[in-house]
Amino acid sequence: MVEKADQIFVTLLHWLVGFLPTGWQHLASVVVCVVVIIAVYPTLFALAVLLERKGLGRMQNRYGPNRVGPFGILQPVADGIKSLTKEDVVPFRADALVHFMAPLVLVVAVFMGFAVLPMGRNMELVDMDASLLFFFAMGASTELSVFMAGWSSRNKYSLLGAMRAIAQMISYEVILLLSSVAVVMITGSLSLVKIVEAQNHYTWGLPHWFVLTPWGLMGFVLFVIASTAETNRSPFDLPEGESEIIAGYFTEYSGFKFALFFLGEYVGMFGIAGFGTTLFLGGWSAPLSVLTWVPSWIWFFGKVLLWICFFIWLRGTLPRLRQDQLMNFAWKFALPLTLLNLIVAALWHFMGAGVVTWLVCFAILAIAYVLMARTGLKRGKIGPRSYRYAE
């Protein structure tokens, strides 16, 4: 029974595909999986937008949407109809083809990443040898769409937003990559399925999640920071800072293209949350050994939704960073810590897991963190901005 609930989607897929002749079965199962992915994540997107608007409303001491349907739960439907029926305005001087392609490139690249995420036991579309690399390769393609959108609009605010976005995404992608390299070093595999398998063991009822090791904890924290920046979420939402540059690179988009950008941003958030869950939070494995009877996909989606809630909470809490703070933080604080984290991961590998190793590794990282934070504060990098050209 437990086994059945865990594998219900896999069984369902096999049953569905079983109606077809054998030659078509492989193709059909791929198509069904793709359709399911394309259906599930936009639904989650609608939920997340509602959750965000309601949650932010609560945090800012207001109601949030409450007009459409009971408690405003039909708000996403209304938003969808609105964006579909709105006029699609393209600026007269805009580069029509590039302007049209940009949202498509973003949405396609963002959805491709889900192909390799294990969303439950035996629930991955493709199990590749280098699926981690695949995810990053697809993530890198989104930067290009941001540039295309910002440049083709022929609007200085769009261009500024695109420049900000690209500078930020390139800087934080280094941290994102290097913090996940520690996981690869320990598991010895680039396959996300194997990374989850490596974490799916229990000692004293507790899981072997990487976040519970010193290097994993440091990697996880850096990964969360970098993923917030990579998805342009507050406090790293400079590329679309509403109070400064209207809406950044998608200022000149309206109607359904704007909705596509919105969708791409949120689905990208789900993708990176699922990826981080897979790397550090044990993917679909249960948090306690007594809870392994709960279906694996519930754990995966539960963790992803928790991560999204954390993003929303951050957005309601922190103010926007300045460009110089953003860059200083990435290159002078986060990057050295990531490199140190790699060394600590190597130390962990050679010393073998144990209480002493745990304490030594934790001490190294904690001391480095405190020292770097202290010197960073003392140097006055966080003080008022010094202008080079404006004064």
Partner 1 sequence: MSIVFWIFAVITLGGALAAMLLRSLVHSALAVTLSFAGLALMFLELGAQFAGFTQFLVYIGAVAILVVFAILLTRSSEETGSGVFSPTWLRGLVIAAAVFAVLGWSILNSAAALPGTTAEPVASVQQIGQALMGPYVLPLEIVAVLLTSALIGAVIVAMHEKEGAE
Rounded to whole angstroms, what are the CA distances from 242 to 103, 141, 156, 250, 340? 20, 25, 14, 11, 36
Supply the minimum distance, in Å, between the C-beta of residue 87 and partner 1: 27
- Which of 39, 170, 288, 339 binds partner 1 (CB under 8 A)? It is 170
Instruction: Compare residues 69 and 188 and give the one whose CB is closer to partner 1.
Output: 188
For residues 71-110, which are near partner 1 according to CB under 8 A? 95, 98
Residues of the chain by 3-state class (helix, strand, coil), percent to 5: 75, 0, 25
| 148 in contact with partner 1 (CB under 8 A) | yes
Q: Which of 4, 15, 388, 391 binds partner 1 (CB under 8 A)?
A: 388
Half-sphere exposure of 319 (CA within 13 A, CB side): 5
Q: Does the protein bind partner 1 through residue 359 (CB under 8 A)? A: no
Q: Is 157 a residue that touches partner 1 (CB under 8 A)?
A: no
Q: In this complex, which beta carbon is closest to partner 1, that of residue 239 or of residue 287? A: 239
| Residue of 136, 202, 358, 362 interacting with partner 1 (CB under 8 A) | 136
- 154 by Cβ neighbours in 10 Å (0-12 / 13-18 / 19+) ranks as middle
Nearest Cα residue to 161 out of 259, 241, 98, 257 = 241
Q: Quick one: 342 exposed, middle or buried, by C-beta within 10 A (0-12, 13-18, 19+)? A: middle
Nearer to partner 1, 125 or 259 (CB): 125
Which CB sits closer to partner 1, 19 or 387? Answer: 387
Between the CA atoms of 243, 49, 107 and 159, what dihedral angle is there, to the nearest 10 degrees? 0
Select from 38-46, 55-63, 136-144, 378-386 the region that touches partner 1 (CB under 8 A). Answer: 136-144
Rank residues 230 and 237 by Cβ distance to partner 1 and give the closer one. 230
Residue 310 beta carbon to partner 1: minimum distance, rounded to whole angstroms: 26
Q: In the set 130, 198, 217, 335, which binds partner 1 (CB under 8 A)? A: 130
At residue 123, what is the residue type?
M
Q: How far is the CB of 380 from partner 1 (least distance, A)?
A: 17
Residue 111 touches partner 1, criterion: CB under 8 A: no
Q: For residue 246, which of 143, 159, 357 has the smallest C-alpha distance?
A: 159
* Residues 238-259 as b or e (16 or more Cβ within 10 Å = b): bbbbeeebbbbbbbbbebbbbb
Binding site for partner 1 (CB under 8 A): 95, 98, 128-130, 133-134, 136-141, 143-144, 147-148, 151, 159, 163, 166, 170, 173, 188-190, 388
